[in-house]
Structure 1
Amino acid sequence: MSSNWLTQFPDMSRRDLLTIRQTLDGAYRHFSREYGDAIEAAFHPLLKFLIWFDNLLIHTPWWIIIIAITSLVYAATRSWKLSLGVVISLLLIGYFGMWENTMRTLSIITVCTLISIALGIPIGILMARSDRAQSIITPLLDVMQTMPAFVYLIPVVMLLGIGKIPGVIAVVIYAIPPVIRLTNLGIRLVSKETLEAATAFGATPTQRLLGVQLPLAMPTIMAGINQTIMMALAMVVIASMIGVNGLGQPVLRSITNQYFTLGLLNGLAIVALAIIFDRVSQSYAKRTQKHLEGAHND
């Protein structure tokens, strides 16, 4: 009896798995047909902004873009060496004919990072203020960080097709966990004595959050933003598979056609952007930390 059950078990499990897969696929296809147009319409303002920002970066004269980016870098870091490195990197990118693709990549990474920050920091605050929320959200973050990046593309493409918006959604899902985790961690690391002192001075919970916890947690939050940017850039090549223009498409084309130099140059351009974002965010976090330590000592 038991041996018959064991021999039938693989066939039963395969039939059950096939049934479950067909049920879930059918349900998702029905959901896509029923609500796909409404969801696409909801993202239309974001698509218009992405197109506008893309065109702004591409059609603005290159020297204005370089001055603007260098000014932002210097304002954040106060480092002439880093600012000079940014100028040289951007000039080399333009010289090798990768300017437009770099601007497209810069636009989508900027938008994805801003969306990740706008969503991630409030979720991190919620996790820091509620152990129950943390216990619910942490497993979801674990799944988001361990799931292969290609898997994100499947439901998004089925729902919205190919283009910028599906790419943005896939990048945000992939890149948002670090900023959520480190916002939660940074706020939880603020000492109880500091919070008790703020409460003793009559601070409300909102005042403690905005005036004490977030400023003290800012270096940790900046580390999370740094990691989010790095993960968004890592997703550039994968997102190019669903029609996201930028440096990822030449890299993908070089893989399929074995164009070594094309892939190398565009890969180096992605590396240059990653280094710029990394150094700027790290320098800003260090300056913030020194400012807070100086204010605390005073």
Structure 2
Amino acid sequence: MNASVIGKSVEQFVDFLFSRFRGAFDAFSVALGSVVELLEQALAALPYPVMLAIFVGLALWRRGVFFAVFVGAAMSCIHYMGLWNQTVATLALVLAATLLSLVAGVPLGIWGARSDRVGVALRSVLDFMQTMPAFVYLIPAVILFGLGRVPAVIATIVFAMPPVVRLTTLGIRQVRPELIEAGRSFGSTEAQLLWKIQLPNALPSIMAGVNQTIMMALSMVVVASMIGAGGLGEYVLSGIQRLDIGIGFEGGLGVVLLAIVLDRLTESFGVRKPRKSKAK
């Protein structure tokens, strides 16, 4: 099957980028690869008991005893299956993609909230990013950045960034007008309104966006393993290629357990706990 005019135009555009800016893409690939590798090495340097204590402590602080017990059991299960190193690699990839998505997504969400025209344009772009099949992102990522974790992170960012942009815009737009008017009446600048009123009040919505971005990044783990991302996705892919149900199930279970832990922890940061009233 041959591509139509639209497909050929996109192909020519990607070829143009590769031929004219190959040095820039190579430099960016090296820099991003170093960041991901450094993050993975930092996580891998922590012994399993220390990582377990950190996760259980966070769970106990944010969700209580019951969830802390679940986190301990989940991490022990992953370690028992011999998938701890793969889980650390997956966690590094997800954290790198999530951090870069936040660096780009939150400012875009703020811009979209402050400008109706930008908001409309962003909505169309985000619809395209979310509805395009994830496999399609791998093609230009491999052409521009080669195989490995870098194109996997790039494809994951494109796929996982829309929720944080949408929910940042939504959160800022839903800040009560009387709070904005009160800030202006006290002489606050636009920057002060943003940092002291809009962002603090939009934080639950922004954290919901962070939560969804992490979940979508994890959903790309298996897809990204096709281009050498490694981690739990590679284990699942190995099970698919060998038609080994056991390996595939263990890899999938590792992804599910990690997803539940990250989901509940990040979700807890977006929930405001009621303040205890002081006894008179």
Question: In the TM superposition, what are the counterparts of 1:6-25 in structure 2 within 5 Å?
Answer: 18=4, 21-22=7-8, 24-25=10-11
Unaligned runs of 5+ in 2: none
- Cα distance per residue 1:69-94 (max 9 Å; x no partner): 3333444x152222222121111111
CA deviations on 1:107-144 (whole Å, 9 max, x unpaired) are 11111111111111111000000111112111100000
Deviations 1:207-266 (A, max 9, x none): 111111111111111111111111000000000001001000111111121110111111
Cα displacement (A) at 1:23: 5.0
Please name the residue that 1:50 is paired with: 36
Task: Name the counterpart of 1:244.
Answer: 229
Q: Equivalents in 1 of 2:161, 2:10: separation in Å?
A: 26
**Residue type of the partner of 2:29?**
F
Scaled by the length of structure 2, what TM-score is found?
0.92
Q: Deviations over 1:1-35 (max 9, x none)?
A: xxxxxxxxxxxxx99x6455445434432431332
> 1:247-258, aligned counterparts within 5 Å?
247-258=232-243
1:271 aligns with 2:256: yes
Question: Are 1:219 and 1:289, in contact at CA under 8 Å, matched by a contact in 2?
Answer: no
Distance 1:23 1:143, change over 3 A: closer
* 271-280 or 180-189, which deviates more: 271-280
Q: SS of 2:270's equivalent?
A: helix
* Structure 2 residue 17 is matched with structure 1 residue 34: no
Structure 1, gaps ≥5 residues long = 1-13
Partners of 1:289 and 1:151 in 2: how far apart?
41
Separation in 2, partners of 1:226, 1:193: 29
Percent identity of paired positions between Structure 1 and Structure 2: 40
Would the aligned equivalents of 2:29 and 2:145 in 1 still touch at CA under 8 Å? no
Deviation digits for residues 184-214 of structure 1 (CA, Å, limit 9, x no counterpart): 0000001111111111122111111111111
1:104 partnered with 2:89 = yes
Amino acid in structure 1 at the alignment position of 2:199: L
1:284 deviates by 1.8
Which structure 2 residues correspond to residues 172-251 of structure 1 after superposition, within 5 A? 172-251=157-236
Larger relative helix fraction: 1
* In 1: Cα distance, 2:127 partner to 2:8 partner: 26
The aligned counterpart of 2:56 is 70
Cα distance, 1:65–1:203 mapped onto 2, change above 3 Å: same
State how many pairs are aligned.
277
Contact 1:93 1:99 in 2 (8 A): yes
CA distance in structure 2 between the partners assigned to 1:19 and 1:126 by the alignment: 34
Q: Is the 1:180–1:224 contact (alpha carbons within 8 Å) kept by the matching residues of 2?
A: yes
What is the match of residue 11 of structure 1? none
Q: CA RMSD in A?
A: 2.0
Aligned to 2:69: 84
Matched, 1:134 2:94: no
